[in-house]
Structure 1
Amino acid sequence: MAPGVQDVKEGSASLSTASLSTAPLSTSDRAEVWHDAVSHTFVPMTVRLLEEEPSPGTIVSHQVGPVRISRIEAGPQVVTRGPRMIAAGGPPSLILSLQERGTSLKEQDGRESLIRPGEFSFTDSSRVFRKKIDEDFTFTSFHFPRAELDVSEKALRGLTATAFSRAEGSAALLATYLTQMAREAKRLDAGVGRRAAATALDLLALLVDDRSGQSRPQESQSAASLERVKDYILRNLRDPDLSPSMIAEANYMSLRFLHKLFQREGVTLGTWIRTQRLERCSRDLLRPMAEELGVAGIARRWGFANSSHFSRTFREAYGVSPRDWQVCGRPTD
């Protein structure tokens, strides 16, 4: 982290806030500190300040779920990200900037666009880009992990370094939502913040699909969401506190949508989780570990907190008690 940057916990919100100002520094020190701050806030980049005596710069950032929101004010500069920095690694990300003051010249994927106040654009950190601003500027940026954005690489590549107006359509929906999200960021608690970030990602995907002319079949989206949820459940199956609200929050979706995903398969969420736990218990009961752990230990191992409840549930599913299953190896006809 650059000198002068402070991490602050925002009370009950438990959201990380970082702030920096180069105003107290001498003009000779500002360039180095600013370069480190920009690279820390976004991704490693080369920053070249265009003033002989650099103007003060400020960055204030808030973490909202997986999204980093930053407000930047500074003087003329050029930032570039070249092949060497990209090759150094790090998870790919998408950086969306709402231009508020000053005009930016952005270059990526063979395009060059002027981004004026009232417009926004985005940049993909996994490919070379350049941004030049010849005047004092202010913008608010949203740093999205690329892995969280469900759009095709082809669609995304066709829209980088493009100026989007906030006046109408899907761009207006996204810009309006992001503006309000940035305004409320420091007051959102952790759970609400994660849901807000999920909505922002959905609106961004909507914009990309809309502008790239792609449609997103509802069934395809639901199938992908269901697989993601199932993977999360299986990774947390041993947790006795695993609950619908916990699953929905971790996967950035509403409880209603979560239950609908399983209803389309003709099963309830609770039944699916119980079946997965019972299958693993039935296997473990036949393994050597069962002698040491016992029936109650096996049940606890897979998230059944109450052994009596487990025994009843097991009998209903397999037709025999866990102990009989352990002795016989399979239910009798």
Structure 2
Amino acid sequence: MLTAVTCSTRDLAPGDRVVSWQRALSRTFVDVEVTVEPGRPWTGELTAERLGALQIATEEFGPGTILRGARSVTADPRTHILVRRQLEGTALLLQDGRTAELHPGSLAFHDARRPYRILLPERQRARILMVPRALLRLEERQLHALTATVVDDTGAGAAGLLLPLLDGLVDEVARATAHGREQLARTVVEILATVALEQSARPPEPALWERITASLQAQARLGDPGLTPQDIADRHAISLRYLHRLFQRHGTTVGAWVRTRRLAAAHEELARPGAAHRSIAVVAARWGFTSPAHFSRAFRETYGMSPTQWRTAAAELGPTARSGDAPGPIAPAPGLHAPLS
């Protein structure tokens, strides 16, 4: 059976809105506390439909904060899993020491059994799905690894395929027959369980970053002039879009990061006495630069001198040039896209 709940604060007196909105969210989801900044205008709009074990709600609210603290967890025994799919605006979901920054199209799980906080810096709109934790069929350690991690369709695997399908199924629930709704609800829960299982097993983003950058440090990779972002993404089983986003979050691009490391490797090699017999062109080629002229320009932009000048200076400095006291990069060189030379 499909039951619907609606709530709006638009027609309430300003002094009554927070209490009414907090009561509506607590009744629809789990017990929470709501705060808003004094003097800033806001309204809340909530629609919720319950179909058996699955609840589908749409929330428009902000700016403000939604908090499920330790006191709320103790007072309200519900232990459902909530899934926030951001539709408009942004939200920050904090739980288990992690922060998920949600933008339109991204999704994150949060567990009603433990405290969480949702920060809404602006008015936003989100769809929230709520299911009993048992339906996800995950162990507690998996649930703990799942919360407040961003899921979207930019990564490889099930999420990229299933999230658009999930949206379509949820939109179809309201139009379907009673029998059709039950089938759709079961399918939605199965999709959530599949995405949750995959996400709980995914390495945390810091570990993924370390794994990618560590693998790129090898000469065989940096020295490959045909290396492209797509090659890197394929090697680590992620999408190209997700790879670019990962590097952007670290303040760089794939091309800039690779080229800076190539230049640093060439810079170090040119200072070694054992490499004195190698021409500048050979050193450039060893580190993935197909054009000696391009290498020389990039080297000068980064280190303030040509490769030849650096080799001469390094010979005069002796061991100092190889001890870490030699001039370092002035700034990361601009990145290229494909290939990464």
**Residue 152 of structure 2 aligns with which residue?**
165
Could you list the runs of 5+ residues in structure 2 that have no partner in the other structure?
Answer: 203-341
Q: Out of 32, 42, 67, which is 2:19 matched to?
A: 32
Q: Out of 23, 39, 61, which is 1:52 matched to?
A: 39
After superposition, the Cα gap between the structure-2 partners of 1:50 and 1:177, relative to the gap in structure 1 and judged at 3 Å, is farther
Report matched runs for 1:264-275 at 5 Å: none
**Residue 202 of structure 1 aligns with which residue?**
190
Task: Give a deviation string over 1:122-159, Cα, whole Å, max 9, x none.
Answer: 10000111110111100111011112221111111101
| Percent of aligned pairs with the same amino acid | 31
Report matched runs for 1:21-100 at 5 Å: 21-100=8-87
**Offset at 1:51?**
4.7
- Describe the SS at the equivalent of 1:50: coil
**Residue 186 of structure 1 aligns with which residue?**
174
Q: Out of 76, 97, 101, which is 1:110 matched to?
A: 97
Query: Which letter maps to 1:25?
Result: L
Distance 2:38 2:126 in 1: 19
CA contact (8 A) 1:15 1:189 kept: no
- Describe the SS at the equivalent of 2:146: coil
After superposition, the Cα gap between the structure-2 partners of 1:89 and 1:44, relative to the gap in structure 1 and judged at 3 Å, is closer
**Residue 218 of structure 2 aligns with which residue?**
none
Task: Give a deviation string over 1:245-301, Cα, whole Å, max 9, x none.
Answer: xxxxxxxxxxxxxxxxxxxxxxxxxxxxxxxxxxxxxxxxxxxxxxxxxxxxxxxxx
Query: Which letter maps to 1:180?
Result: G
Q: Out of 200, 210, 217, which is 1:212 matched to?
A: 200
CA contact (8 A) 1:102 1:136 kept: yes
Q: Does 1:129 align with 2:116?
A: yes
**Offset at 1:98?**
0.8
- Describe the SS at the equivalent of 2:16: helix
Q: TM-score, normalised by structure 2?
A: 0.56
Q: TM-score, normalised by structure 1?
A: 0.57
Distance 2:77 2:139 in 1: 20
After superposition, the Cα gap between the structure-2 partners of 1:131 and 1:187, relative to the gap in structure 1 and judged at 3 Å, is same
Distance 1:51 1:70 in 2: 27
CA contact (8 A) 2:9 2:17 kept: yes
Could you list the runs of 5+ residues in structure 1 that have no partner in the other structure?
Answer: 1-13, 215-333
Query: Which letter maps to 1:30?
Result: R
Report matched runs for 1:260-299 at 5 Å: none
After superposition, the Cα gap between the structure-2 partners of 1:112 and 1:53, relative to the gap in structure 1 and judged at 3 Å, is closer
Query: Which letter maps to 1:192?
Result: G
Task: Give a deviation string over 1:146-191, Cα, whole Å, max 9, x none.
Answer: 1222111111110101111123432233422331233122223333
Distance 1:44 1:201 in 2: 23
Runs of 4+ in structure 1 displaced over 6 angstroms? none
Moved more, 186-195 or 73-82: 186-195
Distance 1:81 1:188 in 2: 34
CA contact (8 A) 1:97 1:120 kept: yes
**Residue 18 of structure 1 aligns with which residue?**
5
Query: Which letter maps to 2:169?
Result: M
CA contact (8 A) 2:166 2:191 kept: no
CA contact (8 A) 1:70 1:142 kept: yes
- Describe the SS at the equivalent of 2:174: helix
Moved more, 119-128 or 181-190: 181-190
Provide the alpha-carbon RMSD of the alignment.
1.8
After superposition, the Cα gap between the structure-2 partners of 1:202 and 1:182, relative to the gap in structure 1 and judged at 3 Å, is closer
CA contact (8 A) 2:170 2:188 kept: no
Query: Which letter maps to 2:99?
Result: E
Query: Which letter maps to 2:177?
Result: D
**Offset at 1:53?**
4.6
- Describe the SS at the equivalent of 2:185: helix
